[in-house]
Amino acid sequence: MTAILQAAGASPPGRGKKRLIRRFGRSQDGAAAVEFGFIAVPFFALLFAIIETALMFWTSEVLEESLSQTSRRLLTGQAVSRYNSTNPATNAQAFRDDICAAAPMGLIDCSKLYVDVKIYTDFAGAKSNTTSPVSNGKLDTSKFAYNEPQPGQIVVARAVLDYSLFLTSWASASLADLGAGHRALVATTVFRAEPFTTPSPGAGT
């Protein structure tokens, strides 16, 4: 039978199978796709974690800058005429709204932003009495208040944002400190108010 197949120019069935197996073993078609399939999950996990962290730090920087800009009104005394309600909660809301307005592209969700403005006689007291608003995985703003600074007083102004980690919970779980998918972004500025005089009614802000 083998002699007949050789005479006819054909290979025996067994030899054809061996050639097919050897050809399959040498083939590189689709190898890149298979290799990428092995690393796709860790690659995208790392990519999403990088994006999530970058967005969080960007929002944190925006919050810091917005608080710094808005706090200049406290520094220079403009706040006396701008936040002039007899209700401290109303002044706190106006101060918060100004922080949100200073943030570009609506990066700060004002409904999740809390502000705290306190005054002290010295920097040592400001340091010892300023504690983290995050305790046991919860945001505690019960002691937040708005105190109108007077000339020469030490001012501690804080803005705390309940930030939602929105890309992927599994890639950002290590960033959360307010429960799943949430992190407290805290911006703080400390300064001594200038020796300003109380602005006259109708003065610009």
- Is the pLDDT at 116 greater than 60? The verdict is yes
- Range(s) of the domain holding residue 142: 31-192
% of the chain beyond a pLDDT of 90: 56
The total of structural domains in the chain comes to 1
> In whole numbers, what is the pLDDT of the chain averaged over residues?
84
Evaluate whether residue 139 is within a structural domain: yes
With beta carbons less than 8 A apart as the criterion, state whether 113 and 99 touch.
yes
What is the pLDDT averaged over residues 74-103?
95
Q: Which structure tokens are listed for 45?
A: 């996990």
Evaluate whether residue 115 is within a structural domain: yes
Say what the pLDDT of residue 106 is.
Answer: 78
What is the pLDDT averaged over residues 103-132?
92
Phi, psi (5° rounding) for residue 160?
A: -120, 125
pLDDT in tens, 9-43: 555 555 666 676 666 556 556 666 677 777 888 88
- Is the pLDDT at 205 greater than 50? The verdict is no
In angstroms, the CA 57 to CA 132 distance is 19
- Is the pLDDT at 80 greater than 80? The verdict is yes
**Strand-pair category, 154-164 with 113-120:** antiparallel
Evaluate whether residue 3 is within a structural domain: no
Say what the pLDDT of residue 5 is.
Answer: 43
In angstroms, the CA 139 to CA 177 distance is 9
Evaluate whether residue 61 is within a structural domain: yes
Evaluate whether residue 182 is within a structural domain: yes
Evaluate whether residue 186 is within a structural domain: yes
Evaluate whether residue 15 is within a structural domain: no
Phi, psi (5° rounding) for residue 4?
A: -65, -45
User: What is the DSSP code string of 35-62?
Assistant: HHHHHHHHHHHHHHHHHHHHHHHHHHHH
Evaluate whether residue 8 is within a structural domain: no
What is the pLDDT averaged over residues 95-104?
95
What is the pLDDT averaged over residues 173-183?
85
Say what the pLDDT of residue 111 is.
Answer: 94
